[in-house]
Amino acid sequence: MSRLRNLSKLIIKINKRGGLKMGNFIDKTFTVIADILLKILPASKQEKQAFSYYRAGMAAQSRGRYAEALENYYEALQVEEDPYDRSYTLYNIGLIYGNNGKYSQALEFYHQALALNSNLPQALNNIGVIYHSQALRAQTYNDDEYFELSKELFDKAAEYWRQALKLAPDNYPGARNWLKVTGRLEEIN
C-alpha cells in the first residue's frame, strides 16, 4: 500500500473522530503535513492530484461548503483509480447528500462505497439511520399501507445496523440498544 494511501487513511481516521475542525490546531497541522508529504512521497501525479481534490473536499465539507466539497469529490473520482480510496470519496458524497435530506442519493453513494469496500461500518450505520428515520416518518400516517411500509423499513434498518455492529461491535450504542429493545439483537451473533 502506498505511503500516500496511508496518509489518506490517517486523515480519514482523524476526520471520523471529529479531529478536523477548521480553525483548530489539528486541522492546520495536518494541512501542513499533508502538503509536505504530497511533495516528498513517491506517488504518481494522478495519485497526488486525486488526494489533493479529496483533501480539498474534506476541508470544504468541514466548513459546511457542501457544493464546493462535492465539486472536489467528483474531481477526485475522475482521477482516483484505487477502489479503497474511491470508497471513502463516495462515502463522503453520501454524507453530504444525507445531511442535506437527499436520502435516495445518499443511499446510492453509500451502496457504491460499500461495493468497493465492504469494511465501512459507518456507511452501513448511516444506511440504517436513513431507513429508521423513514420508518418513523411512515408511522405518522394513519394508514395500513404506511404501517406495513414502516415495518419493512424498520427491518431494513435492523439489517444494516446488525452488519455495522458485526464490523464495529463497540460502536453505535443507539443502534445496538434499538436492536435489543425491538428483539432484533440476537441475530448479530
Chain segment 41-81, per-residue pLDDT in tens: 667 888 889 988 998 999 999 999 999 999 999 999 999 99
Question: Residue 43's pLDDT is what?
Answer: 74
The pairs formed by 169-177 with CB atoms below 8 angstroms and a separation of 24 or more are: 171/121, 171/125, 172/121, 172/125, 175/125, 175/128
To 5 degrees, how large is the angle CA 66–CA 51–CA 56? 30
Q: What percent of the chain has pLDDT over 90?
A: 67
Whether residue 23 has pLDDT greater than 60: no
Query: Using CA atoms, how far apart are residues 51 and 64, in angstroms rounded to an integer?
Result: 20
| Contact partners, residue 43, CB within 8 Å, separation at least 6 | 2, 3, 4, 51
> How sure is the predictor about 105, in pLDDT bands with cuts at 50, 70 and 90?
very high
Runs of H (alpha helix) within 41-169:
45-62, 66-79, 83-99, 103-116, 121-139, 144-167
Contact assessment for residue 22 and residue 59, using Cβ atoms and an 8 Å cutoff: yes
What average pLDDT does the chain have? 86
| Closest residue by Cα to residue 151 from 134, 167, 172, 130 | 134
Residue 187, exposed/middle/buried by CB under 10 A (0-12, 13-18, 19+)?
exposed
> What is the C-alpha separation between 14 and 100, in angstroms, rounded?
23
pLDDT band, very low/low/confident/very high, at 40 (cuts 50, 70, 90): confident
Rg (CA), the chain: 18
